[in-house]
Structure 1
Amino acid sequence: RKFWFLYLAKAMVIMPGGFGTLDEFFEGLTLIQTGKIKKTLPIILYGSDFWGKVLNLDALVEFGTISRADLDLFQVVDTVDDAYEIITKGLEKSAVDHPGIGL
C-alpha cells in the first residue's frame, strides 16, 4: 500500500503528527534510499520547531547507520511558499529526468 501511495505521488508534505506520520515518513525515505522508488520525489517536513525536537537524524549519521547524503532526501520548511518552491522545482526536475512519463 505504501509503495503504491508513493509510486503515484508527486511530492510528500509531512505535517506534525504521531507514530503513523513517522511510519509514512520513514517508509518514504526507505523506498527512495533503497531505490525502490526511482523518481524525483520531494519530501518536505513542515514545521522546523516540531521536527527539530522529534527527529535527531544527525545521530544516525554519527553512528554510521545512514550516510550524510541521506539527509538530503528531505527538506524542512516553515512556510507554504518554501514548500511550494521545493515542489515546483521537484516537478520540473522530474519532467527533465523522466520525459514522457507525465506529471
Structure 2
Amino acid sequence: MILISKYIVPKGYIGITLFPFVFLKSKDLKGDKVLLNHEKIHLRQQLELLIIPFYVVYMFEFLMRLIQYRNWHLAYKNVSFEREAYANEKDFEYLGSRPFFKFRTYF
C-alpha cells in the first residue's frame, strides 16, 4: 500500500518502505515506476527476512558501513539491501525472476 507523508519520509529521501507500506514524500512520486520498483524490492527483502530481523540487519550493516566510510550517504548506498535495490530498480521483471530466499553476502 502506497501512502503519502512528508513527515514519515526522512529529510533527504523521497521514499521509505516500512512493511507493508511504502511512504512517499509527495503524491507525484506515485508515477515514478523506478522508485516504486526500488521500494517493492525492499518489501520483498523485508518479507524474506520476516520483517523485524530485516531492520536489525539493515541497521547493523548501516552502522558498520558508517564506521567504515565515515560518510552517511556512502554508508547508505553500500548497505547490501540498497545495493540490490539500486542495481535492479530499472529491471521491472526482476522480482518475477528473483528467488524468494536470495542468499547474499552482508559484509
TM-score category of the 2 structures, normalised to the smaller one: 0.3 to 0.5
Greater RCO structure (CA 8 Å; 6+ sep):
1
TM-score, normalised with respect to structure 2: 0.36
TM-score, normalised with respect to structure 1: 0.37
